[in-house]
Amino acid sequence: MTTQIYIAMHKDTANLPGRAFVPIQVGRADSHRTICEIGDDTGDNISAKNASFCELTALYWIWRNTSGQGHVGLFHYRRHLNFSGRTYRENEWGVVDYPCLDESYINANALTDEHVDALGATYDMILPRRWDVRQAGSRTMWDHYQKGSAHRAADYDAAIGILTRKYPDYARFVAPVNADRSGYFTNIFVMRRDIFDEYCSWIFDILFDLEKEIDLASYSLQETRVFGYISEWLFNIFVMKYRSDHPDTKVKELERTLILDPAPRARIAPVFSTNTVPVVLAFNNNFVPYAGACIQSILNCAKDHFNYDLIVMNDDISDYNKSLIQGLAGGSSNVSIRFVNPRGYFADFDLKTHMHFSKETYYRLSIPEIFENYGKILYIDADMIVRRDLADLLAVDLCGKAVGAVRDCVMTGFRKFGTLALAACGGQEAEAYVARYLGLADPDGYFQAGILIFDLQRMPVDIKGRIRAAFQRRPTYWFLDQDILNVAFQGHVHYLDMRWNVFHGNGNVESFFKNLPLSTWKEYENARKDPYVVHFAGEQKPWLWPSTDFAECFWTVLRQTPWYETTLLACMERYRQRRRRRAVKVSSKIVLKKIADRTAPVGTRRRGLLRRLYRTATSR
């Protein structure tokens, strides 16, 4: 007979593969989303009690609505047991931490049908390894319940009172469990089906009576979980009693595991089968209005005979904003806009940010893995405005290379002018940074990652390892994931026409770009005359500085989106604030000058001293 272990989950997370593991959504009666096939709100259920019964609503559903398994059990979406027979280093809570649920985690803990069935055939109970409460500063199990910040000791006493009245033969096991220094925690286990049924009949009979005695009106959110908490202590009493009555019971204790980031590691399949232009963007909820303009510009240039598969990598965009973004497609049959959460790929990376960058900039690093089912795919930064059909870009011949990108003329300037990298990256000049810190054999080949073509069928075989190694090689990078991409793909880049990624200038055309090496300046100057894609890189974004280069390209497109009015109002308010600050500064200068004219006339040493102090103060 088979073993089934139900995985209690309340949000979309990575799942264990295989027949043995069955996801069940808890609290679905009060949820507006369906995240898996089975919910605890069908048949005989207590789904509406999830806030106070926690994962026990899944336990009740399994008990009342399934049958026939040899063994049945309960895990949580991020808490499992280690079936491998090996032991690993546990933390102070008696748990082995893992960054994410991936293939290496499954293999390390033998979480497969074969291993689950093998242990089920050998043991009557499979329990989490007992944890010593003294590691949390408690003396005994009873002391540990009392010290729980969300526990009320009177509730546990009431539960024991019900147990003693209704099940007097269990009473003699209460004191030993309370006095014990270790116990079974987290409500995860696997049991022979008949033992499981006996346990559920017993535990719910007690808890339903306890529910009648407790008034939750004054309880905090965490205190409301009272029945889930108390069940962990009652579980220990049940196990001790059952093993006493059945001394031949075969019990196996296994290590508990914890997934630190349970976000799913998705694989995306194409929506369209022919004439597809797949485009990936990455941005957060705060950036939605500007990214909306980018997406609108892509659709403005789209042709009817191509299919546009747009995928937004994100982990915090609201459902409302998602609906607005998808509404940009206007129901077009040749446009699909989807969202994917790539967070699971970065669970074991430290996504350090600085300057104006956000963590979402790193998300493009996961493209070779998430989109391995594609042929070629485009990535575009969300602070761009597209002025030519991206199907033309996708058609560019990469001449056998894995990536297509534009050379970074800004880094060319930094190298020429001796610009210093961030102090956290060593503070050396740009030339040394690119050649030594990044280790690029060809510094002139440094590319700008705002727009990229990935030929996913020509990826270096070790590309995932290259990206991981680059992450681990340095504590931080000047241009974050762009630097990592340059390191990982060096020697595998085809350089695109600069018109596909034209910097708007950021207010520095005359002072910076005109002083680039002549050949680079000419290429940039020509690209500016007819940019295929305008890139608002740097601090002078058009929604912050409406007079910046090419701002009209942004505002013209934004006017076609739902975010035009709110963005315009915010821009006007920032403009008014700058004018007020400027007016205050000018008036203050006039007043100070009048005072200085009386106390420190022009030409005196005192006047020179005041002038130096003023310049120092206003330059900060």
Which is more confidently placed, 474 or 286? Answer: 286
266 — pLDDT class (breaks 50, 70, 90): low
How do residues 425-448 score in pLDDT, each as one tens digit? 889 999 999 999 999 999 999 999
DSSP states of 186-250: TT-EEEEHHHHHHHHHHHHHHHHHHHHH--GGG--TTGGGHHHHHHHHHHHHHHHHHHHH-TT--
* CA 476/CA 430 separation, integer angstroms: 15
* CA 362/CA 354 separation, integer angstroms: 13
pLDDT at residue 475, rounded to an integer:
86
C-beta pairs of 423-432 under 8 Å, 24+ apart in sequence: 424/354, 424/475, 424/476, 425/474, 425/476, 425/477, 425/478
Residue % of the chain over a pLDDT of 70: 93
Distance of CA 470 to the CA centre of its chain: 20
Buried b (16+ CB within 10 A) or exposed e, 6-30: bbbbbebbbbbeeebbbbbbbbbbe
Lowest mean pLDDT among 190-194, 356-360, 505-509: 356-360
DSSP-derived secondary structure letter, 419: P
Question: Can you read off the two tokens belonging to residue 84?
Answer: 């491998």
DSSP-derived secondary structure letter, 429: B
How do residues 450-492 score in pLDDT, each as one tens digit? 999 999 999 988 888 888 888 888 889 999 999 999 999 999 9
* CA 502/CA 451 separation, integer angstroms: 10
Helix runs in 246-304, H state only: 288-300
Beta-carbon neighbour count of residue 220 at 10 Å? 10
- The residue type of 599 is T
**Which H or E element spans position 538?**
none
* CA 4/CA 196 separation, integer angstroms: 12
pLDDT at residue 620, rounded to an integer:
47
Beta bridge partners of 380: 451
Beta-carbon neighbour count of residue 74 at 10 Å? 22
Specify the 3-state DSSP secondary structure of 552.
Answer: helix
How do residues 582-595 score in pLDDT, each as one tens digit? 655 555 555 566 66
Beta-carbon neighbour count of residue 232 at 10 Å? 15
Average pLDDT, integer, range 203-226:
96
Name the one residue in this structure whose structure tokens are 């949390």.
136
Which is more confidently placed, 538 or 207? Answer: 207
316 pLDDT higher than 70 = yes
198 pLDDT higher than 80 = yes
How do residues 86-125 score in pLDDT, each as one tens digit? 999 999 999 999 988 888 899 999 999 999 999 999 999 9
Beta-carbon neighbour count of residue 389 at 10 Å? 18
Question: Can you read off the two tokens belonging to residue 536?
Answer: 């608002």
Rounded to 5 degrees, φ, ψ at 587 are -65, -40
Q: How far is CA 575 from CA 121, 133, 293, 587, in A?
A: 72, 59, 21, 18
Rounded to 5 degrees, φ, ψ at 506 are 55, 30
- Residue 209 C-beta-side C-alpha neighbours within 13 Å: 16
**Which H or E element spans position 323?**
helix 319-327
pLDDT at residue 19, rounded to an integer:
94
pTM listed for this prediction? 0.64
* CA 250/CA 256 separation, integer angstroms: 19
Distance of CA 443 to the CA centre of its chain: 33
Q: Which residues, 6+ apart, have CB-to-CB distance to 18 below 8 Å?
A: 111, 112, 113, 116
Distance of CA 459 to the CA centre of its chain: 25
Specify the 3-state DSSP secondary structure of 454.
Answer: strand
